Amino acid sequence: MTEPLAPKPISASRITISQLMHPEHANLLGNVHGGWIMKLVDEAGALASMRHAQRKAVTVAIDSMSFRQPIKIGDLVILNAEVTYTGQTSMEVTVEVLAENPITGEQTHTNTAYLVYVALDEEGRPTSVPALLAETEEDRQTMQRAQERQQRRLKHK
């Protein structure tokens, strides 16, 4: 019998990725292509989930992703990701996307995405992940909202 995994705080999974947007990332309107941002969001989410589980993880769901503001060529895209919910083998990761003008430092929140990953063992089968540990009241509220999102996902399954 395996020992239960020790719970981990949200902060242990937290990662930030930053990338400068170039012309090859542009759509026909001259803004950064939404698909490129989706790719970066998935990478950030995967890294946060792997950091939490200390295992490989695969994407199993992406909640709706709305783009509130365009991201321009020359902007620095900053993605902040952290695990906000854990099940037996699954993890929800919240990814916040910011666009920063590197000259002025002005930041714009462009979107937030919620993704679900499953941790895999060495044979590629789903495997247990550590539970989340709330360190602050804000963590408790974050985890509560994530639990509610997970309940909605399961209801619509």
- For residue 106, the model assigns a pLDDT of 98
Would you say residue 3 has pLDDT above 80?
no
Q: Which CATH superfamily is domain 8-155 in?
A: Hotdog Thioesterase (3.10.129.10)
- For residue 154, the model assigns a pLDDT of 87
- For residue 51, the model assigns a pLDDT of 97
Given phi > 0 = left and psi -120 to 50 = alpha, else beta, which region is 38? alpha
pLDDT (tens digit, 9 = 90+) per residue, 60-118? 999 878 889 999 999 999 999 999 999 999 999 999 999 999 999 999 999 999 999 99
The domain locations on the chain are: 8-155
pLDDT (tens digit, 9 = 90+) per residue, 33-57? 999 999 999 999 999 999 999 999 9
Three-state helix/strand/coil letters over 8-19: EEHHHCCEEEEE
What is the C-alpha separation between 4 and 108, in angstroms, rounded?
A: 41
